[in-house]
Amino acid sequence: MTYPAPVEIPTRDLFNLGGRTVLISGGAGAVGMTVGKAVLESGGDAVFVDMVPSPNEQMWKTIEQISAAQGTKAWYHQLNVTDADSVAPVFDTIRGEIRHPLRGLVACAGISGECDACDYPIDVFRKILDVNITGTFTVTQAVAKEMHRANVTGSIILIASMSGWVTNRGINTAAYNASKSAIHQLGRSLAAEFAHPQNTFPGRTPGDANPNPDGERKAYPPIRVNTLSPGHIETPIAEAAKSRGLVDEWVKQNMLGRISQKEEYRAPVLFLLADGSSYMTGADLRVDGGHCAW
């Protein structure tokens, strides 16, 4: 199923998200809330999901004020992306309340942990991979199913990191780095699978994951999947790094001489979600102040 290029869209509408709903996992966090605001300000409705029962009261009040001013809608749902059994009921609720189909995902949910490799507790290592990889896949799978159900095109953004390209100098975060590199490959793999039927050979080989392969796959409208790789970000989590002098070192490791602000990821996210990036899939958009180019 090949869809035509959206060449008739006026330039002013290339970043417009009107008529679509975007889900943000890790939506109670600093980056998730910030990009969610940008979605609402660009005409889209936003569903925020995160582990906490409710978001920060003041932050959510701002979300409500923005959505009221823009004529958009916002919802919040508690969701642990690593709990596969809880995903379907939450999405059943979401499906019943949204007014436009889910056509976007920004997968922000992720954790890190610093530890020397020889001392790394295996349960902590596994938890980081479970949240960052399995959790990202779980929510992506659920959103893709909703897009298929609604028979609509969509755009999925998996938040990776420059740490998926290079290791972090001076701080030992092997589990996090490995998970973000895996996000890059997950994004490429899903981009191929969701783009066009020509990308998958006919038939399926039986196995543990697919014991009873069925017949021909149904063709769906294309879903674009890209990754976004931020550099170091000024968030509350970075406060501990500041006190250790790490931030002073990080600013020397990129070309712009500073770490990024969460607001600087609004435009990259809107670009990847909207029709302005209609011919972009399977790619990584690195926004790192030149860190990896040096």
CA trace torsion 232, 234, 240, 244 (10° rounding) = 60
**Chain centroid offset of residue 221 CA:** 20
Which residue in this structure is represented by tokens 């420059």? 162
| Interatomic CA distance for residues 186 and 268, integer angstroms | 19
Q: Are 227 and 234 in contact (CB under 8 A)?
A: no
Is the alpha carbon torsion for 19, 48, 90, 275 positive or negative?
positive
252 tagged catalytic: no
176 tagged catalytic: yes
Strand-pair partners of 224: 155
Q: Which of 176, 242, 252, 262 is catalytic?
A: 176
| Interatomic CA distance for residues 287 and 151, integer angstroms | 32
Return the H-helix or E-strand segment holding 39.
Answer: helix 30-41
Q: Which of 37, 73, 180, 220 is catalytic?
A: 180
The residues annotated with a catalytic role in the active site are 176, 180
